[in-house]
Amino acid sequence: MKNNCRFVVNAIGKCGETYHTQCKDKKELQKWLLENQDKLSQNEIKVTDKKKHPLLKLISFNK
């Protein structure tokens, strides 16, 4: 079985819940974020792009 997800989302909810999901494309990622916007703490969302080039990962600027 091939895992074809591209984005991995780790987030913390407003009441301390932990969310972990995988999305196959940007459209699905945006849909999930919009659906769960009221449950999530906006400062505690981390989205990882699994297909990002390794050199870009080293020089990317994250908070």
Contact 10, 20 (CB under 8 A): yes
**pLDDT (tens digit per residue) in 1-60:** 567 899 999 999 999 999 999 999 999 999 999 999 999 999 999 999 988 877 777 776
Strand order of the β-sheet with 18-23 is 18-23, 7-13, 40-49
Contact 40, 32 (CB under 8 A): no
State which amino acid sits at residue 48. T
